[in-house]
Amino acid sequence: MNNQKTNKTLKISKVAISFFNSQYRGDSKYYTTESKGRSYGKTDFSKFLTQHSDTVTILEEGNDAPRGGQTGNFVIVQFNQKFNEKFTPYFEAKKEAARLQEKEEQELLSEIEKIGDQKELLCNYFAKNTAFLTKIVSRIETSSSKGWRNWVRMECCKKIAKSEFRLFTLSAAEIRDVAFASEYGT
């Protein structure tokens, strides 16, 4: 229920999200026109400015193109208190999402470290279970490359990483090499 409340407060326009993801640099100089092939178009900032003009104070307008072309049109802006009130929750949520993603990546790395060396684990499993090894080797030898790669990865993932595919780091080629080394003793 708390998530639903948070999402309602973070509803902002697609134009604002596009501007924040591509061009936002704080109080700075922003261009209002960009070249799009044979024509000119508005930049993400220009679109943001038309929708949220109450959140921006324009300090200076000008053109810095060598011959005064359209792509040189710029404004120097300062974002006011209304901008902070309106978009601070979005920036905080974005930072929190980045922090959570970093935490998940760290947990994933620690889980992979707990599993250990997956090549060694696979070698040991092949040594204990020769029926599984012959099944893998026969599939590799009889099927096309497209036909065996994903199947072999999933079968080995079930045995080594307990069906947690995100924890399984071996490629199909590495599995093939381990299987042939175990089968033929090279």
SS3 letters for 122-152?
A: HHHHHHHCHHHHHHHHHHHHHCCHHHHHHHH
For the ranges 5-9, 55-59, 79-83, the lowest mean pLDDT is seen at 5-9
H/E stretch holding 56 reads strand 56-63
CB-based contact 27:79 (threshold 8 Å): yes
Amino acid code (one letter) for 102: E
Residues 17-31: pLDDT tens digits? 989 988 899 898 999
Query: Does position 58 have pLDDT exceeding 60, yes or no?
Result: yes
Q: What is the pLDDT of residues 124-164, one digit of tens each?
A: 888 888 999 999 999 999 988 888 998 999 998 888 877 77
Averaged pLDDT of the chain:
85
Determine if the pTM surpasses 0.75.
no
* Domain limits, the chain: 2-93, 116-184
At 163 the pLDDT is 75
* Beta carbons within 10 angstroms of residue 38's beta carbon: 5
User: Given the DSSP bridges, would you call strands 73-79 and 56-63 parallel, antiparallel or unpaired?
Assistant: antiparallel
In contact, 111 and 161? CB cutoff 8 Å: no
Q: Is residue 24 helix, strand or coil?
A: coil
40, 74, 149, 182 from 123: Cα distances, Å: 61, 63, 18, 7
Contact 32, 43 (CB under 8 A): yes
Per-residue confidence (pLDDT) for residue 70, from 0 to 100: 79
